């Protein structure tokens, strides 16, 4: 038995969440796990290891029956979307354990999980975005709203965006999305003005400095929650700013390809289907 295999078995027997996270991250299919996904994976593994401890089970010996019982417990507690999220890191863990030859079977391989029936969160309406922008924002808050509602950035993309990624002369931002995929996003007129305002407040900001200045996802979420409360609009989450950008561009151009390009979707299926696109559409963003 190899030393690494021994170490992994010991970590699984000790129900070491951080060791499990490192293993899952090391075997990630794209080689990258975002901060947001990592937090979700940690929550899923903490709950799973708690179940294993409570029922005096062993991770490396878990069978299909126990896997099904764990799924059933999740279904009694959570909605379908959360069940999927809680099971995702557990499935990834067993795939990694198989690759490392720590176990010979994946007990979750044949466990059926119902697809979420929840409708996707609604985008913020343009009137709601305007209400946010009109509620006396700081420069940082204004940039936050516009990075999502005009730039279509995910929250992790907002967090990672540095001043070196922003080219105001060319009206472009370099954005690193899922799997560290890079895309170029046009900077709207209003976002450019907000970025200038923020840059003036932060003199001599290094190129590697983060534009929003937040270190963690919860800081960004809390900042938007405060904005939404002041603006007196319904809380729809950070991602609904991104949905607002895609919905607006589609509405104004009639092209889902334009929205796909802005949002950086790998497949048009994610943005649904349309067949026409030309570069005049993403130029529309600059007038926002």
Main-chain phi, psi angles of 276, to 5 degrees:
-120, 140
What span, in angstroms and rounded, lies between the C-alpha atoms of 226 and 175?
25
Asked if 87 and 71 count as a contact pair (C-beta separation under 8 A), the reply is yes
Backbone angles phi, psi at 210, to 5 degrees: -75, 135
Across the range 264-288, mean pLDDT stands at 56
Reading the block at residue 201, the tokens are 């407040």
| Helix, strand, coil share of the chain (percent; to 5) | 60, 5, 35
pLDDT digits (tens, 9 = 90+) for 170-183: 999 999 887 778 89
Q: Which residues contact 261 (CB under 8 A, 6 or more apart)?
A: 277, 281, 282
pLDDT value of position 285: 67
Q: Does position 98 have pLDDT exceeding 90, yes or no?
A: yes
Confidence of residue 9 (pLDDT cuts 50, 70, 90): very high
Residue 203, pLDDT score: 79
d(CA 276, CA 254): 9
pLDDT tops 90 at residue 145: yes
Output the average pLDDT for the chain.
86
223-271: pLDDT as tens digits: 999 999 999 999 888 989 998 888 888 787 776 677 777 777 666 555 6
Residue 110: what pLDDT?
Answer: 82
- Confidence check: pLDDT of 118 > 70: no
Quote the pLDDT of residue 272. 58
Q: What percent of the chain has pLDDT over 90?
A: 53
**Does residue 275 surpass a pLDDT of 50?**
no
Instruction: Report domain 126-287's class.
Output: mainly alpha
Q: What percent of the chain has a predicted confidence (pLDDT) above 70? A: 86
Delimit the domains of the chain by residue range: 3-99, 126-287
Q: What is the reported pLDDT for 278?
A: 41
pLDDT value of residue 166 = 95
In sign, the C-alpha dihedral spanning 139, 145, 151, 155 is: positive
Instruction: Give pLDDT tens digits for 190-234.
Output: 999 999 999 999 877 888 999 999 988 888 988 999 999 999 999
Whether 134 shows a pLDDT value over 90: the answer reads: yes
For the segment 50-61, the average pLDDT, to the nearest whole number, is: 95
Among 54-63, 154-163, 200-209, the least confident range: 200-209
d(CA 262, CA 121): 19
Q: What is the pLDDT of residue 168?
A: 92
The two structure tokens encoding residue 214? 């937040």
| Tokens describing residue 88 | 């995702």
């Amino acid at each position: 038995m190899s030393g690494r295999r021994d170490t992994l078995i010991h970590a699984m027997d000790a129900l070491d969440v951080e060791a499990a996270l490192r293993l899952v991250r090391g075997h990630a299919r794209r080689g990258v796990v975002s901060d947001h996904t990592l937090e979700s994976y940690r929550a899923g593994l903490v709950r799973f290891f708690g179940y294993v401890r409570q029922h005096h089970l062993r991770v490396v010996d878990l069978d299909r029956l126990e896997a099904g019982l764990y799924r059933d417990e999740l279904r009694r507690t959570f909605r379908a979307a959360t069940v999927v999220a809680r099971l995702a890191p557990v499935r990834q863990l067993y795939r990694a354990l198989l690759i490392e030859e720590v176990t010979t079977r994946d007990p979750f391989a044949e466990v059926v999980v119902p697809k979420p029936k929840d409708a996707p969160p609604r985008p913020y309406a343009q009137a709601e975005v305007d209400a946010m922008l009109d509620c006396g924002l700081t420069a940082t808050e204004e940039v936050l709203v516009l990075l999502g509602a005009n730039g279509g950035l995910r929250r992790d993309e907002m967090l990672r965006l540095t001043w070196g990624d922003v080219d105001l002369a060319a009206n472009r931002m370099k954005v690193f999305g899922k799997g560290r995929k890079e895309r170029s996003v046009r900077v709207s007129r209003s976002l450019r003005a907000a970025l200038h305002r923020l840059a003036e407040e932060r003199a001599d900001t290094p190129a590697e400095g983060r534009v929003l200045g937040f270190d963690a996802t919860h800081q960004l979420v809390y900042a938007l929650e405060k904005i939404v409360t002041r603006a007196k609009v319904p809380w729809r989450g950070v991602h609904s700013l991104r949905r607002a950008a895609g919905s607006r561009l589609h509405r104004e151009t009639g092209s889902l390809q334009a929205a796909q390009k802005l949002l950086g979707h790998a497949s048009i299926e994610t943005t649904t289907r349309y067949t026409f696109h030309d570069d005049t559409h993403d130029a529309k963003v600059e007038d926002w």
